[in-house]
Amino acid sequence: MQPESTRPRRGWRETVEPGIYRVHRVGCPRSADHRSGGRCGCPYAVKAPGRAPGKTRNVTHPGPLRDARAERWRLLAAGRPESRVTTHPDIVSLHDLATAYMRAHDGVLAPATIKGHGEAYRRSIAPTLGGLPLAGVTRQRVVAWLAELTGTHSAHGCWKALTALRTFLNAGVAWGIIAENAAAGLRLPGSRDGSPSRTGPRRVLAMAELDRLLAACTAVRTECMVRVSAEAGLRRGEVVGLRWGDLDLPGRRLTVARSVWQEAGRDGAPPVRHVKPPKSGRVKVVAISLGLAERLGDLYATSVIEAGADAAGYVFPGAGGGVMDASTPSRMLARACVRAGLVDGDGTPLVSWHSLRHTAASLMLADGVPLPDVAAQLRHADPGITARVYSHSLGEDRQHAAASVFDALQTTRTVRETVRETDRERENPLA
């Protein structure tokens, strides 16, 4: 909070009636005593419809109140004003808008963000909407596109595509090319029968299934990588970025200090790996189990003490002791899933790397670990994020446990007792 002396001064905003306010100046006596109904020369502000649906704008009126009220009625009757749209001859279609956005934000946004928007556009948006003129990207067309997309893409893929489209159209509105964003406020349609949507390999494992998966890991390195995600909740890039100096095995602590993101090479060039801070942007310490600490100790003895690897290097290095390739953890996990029998009818692994993080949170919540503790272990800034993402783990058993707190009340009656008392009242209504 700024010191009192450096805060910008502001006059009092008096509510006269719904939709009409008196904007008192700083020097007005009403800004000091906050007495309503006083006479002064300060203007009014009337609330009127904005240019976008659901938006409002404030229009200043000098007064008196009668004229300000009439002006508000006139603005309400006029409805939304016409948006000022400028002409960009080089941006005609949605493809042109997406290209202009990517070009304008290259080097400004994170490379992973640019890459994600680009992939979502090429895979999901361009085949259907890319060639449309901007005037043809209507709300009705976007809703129809999203409905088609949910039948062929995973829920995560649909969400990424909708986010990218909304971002491009937001830029068009900000640049004055289009009047409104046709994708604003849209949500992914849910299943009518309550069945889960096609989300791909994002299964959350039960404890017995996780034990079976770990038993199928033939190498200590693979087992440690899976356990670091499935127990401590690290993301794939954070697992790849772990160094031996980040581990405190006697204290059973692990510092998440960096993450590795891999960018595909252009024109046949090898991929480029970026070492960056973790997703939260802050270094966090998480706890690990005794069993995981022992297995990491075994890995240290094998790779560093016996094989002579760098004691300050990566815990899970790639070729030559450098950063591991981004696809290597997924291949290792897929092979372990096949050996453990965690595949669907087509032989596709049921577990993705990120679902191991979901497994960690779900197992902790199912075992009764308090929500703030789970949020701290997952490094969520707000426990509300944990509650929203993993609400499926707070199921009926937890709800019954919460309701059972009130079982000790002495006024509790069974249904049989209530029926018996009702029958007695019917037999002897004068009692």
Q: pLDDT tens digit string along 162-215?
A: 999 999 998 888 888 888 889 988 877 654 444 444 444 457 888 999 999 999
pLDDT at residue 133, as a whole number: 92
Q: Which domain holds residue 348?
A: 207-264+271-365
Looking at the fold, whether 138 and 244 belong to one and the same domain comes out as no
Local structure of 249: helix, strand or coil: coil
Looking at the fold, whether 127 and 225 belong to one and the same domain comes out as no
Looking at the fold, whether 244 and 316 belong to one and the same domain comes out as yes
Q: How many domains does the chain have?
A: 3
Q: How many CB atoms lie within 10 A of CB 178?
A: 21
**What is the CATH number for 320?**
1.10.443.10
Looking at the fold, whether 234 and 337 belong to one and the same domain comes out as yes
Q: Is the dihedral of CA 134, 139, 141, 144 positive or negative?
A: positive
pLDDT at residue 200, as a whole number: 44
Q: Determine phi and psi for 415, rounding to 5 degrees.
A: -65, -40
Q: How far apart are CA 238 and CA 281, in angstroms?
A: 12
Structural domain includes residue 391: no
Point out the domain boundary residue: 314, 332, 365.
Answer: 365
Structural domain includes residue 293: yes
Q: What is the pTM of this model?
A: 0.58
pLDDT at residue 382, as a whole number: 78
Nearest residue to 154 (alpha-carbon basis) of 378, 392, 352: 352
pLDDT at residue 132, as a whole number: 92
pLDDT at residue 199, as a whole number: 42
Q: How far apart are CA 162 and CA 186, in angstroms?
A: 8
Looking at the fold, whether 220 and 286 belong to one and the same domain comes out as yes
CB-CB contact of 19 with 72 (8 Å): yes
Looking at the fold, whether 139 and 236 belong to one and the same domain comes out as no
Kindly give the parts of the chain with pLDDT less than 50. Answer: 1-8, 191-201, 412
pLDDT at residue 419, as a whole number: 56
User: pLDDT for 202-220, tens place per residue?
Assistant: 578 889 999 999 999 999 9
HSE-CB of 52 using CA atoms within 13 angstroms: 14
Q: Is the bond into 89 cis (omega within 30 degrees of 0)?
A: no
Looking at the fold, whether 159 and 49 belong to one and the same domain comes out as no
- Amino acid at residue number 164: A
CA dihedral 195, 199, 200, 204 (to 10 degrees): -80
Nearest residue to 360 (alpha-carbon basis) of 211, 231, 268, 180: 231
* 309, two tokens: 């690897």
Point out the domain boundary residue: 365, 391, 407.
Answer: 365
Structural domain includes residue 332: yes
Point out the domain boundary residue: 365, 382, 399.
Answer: 365
pLDDT at residue 297, as a whole number: 94
Looking at the fold, whether 64 and 134 belong to one and the same domain comes out as no
Looking at the fold, whether 42 and 133 belong to one and the same domain comes out as no
CB-CB contact of 214 with 292 (8 Å): no
Structural domain includes residue 28: yes
Structural domain includes residue 5: no
* 410, two tokens: 């002495």
Structural domain includes residue 385: no
Structural domain includes residue 113: yes
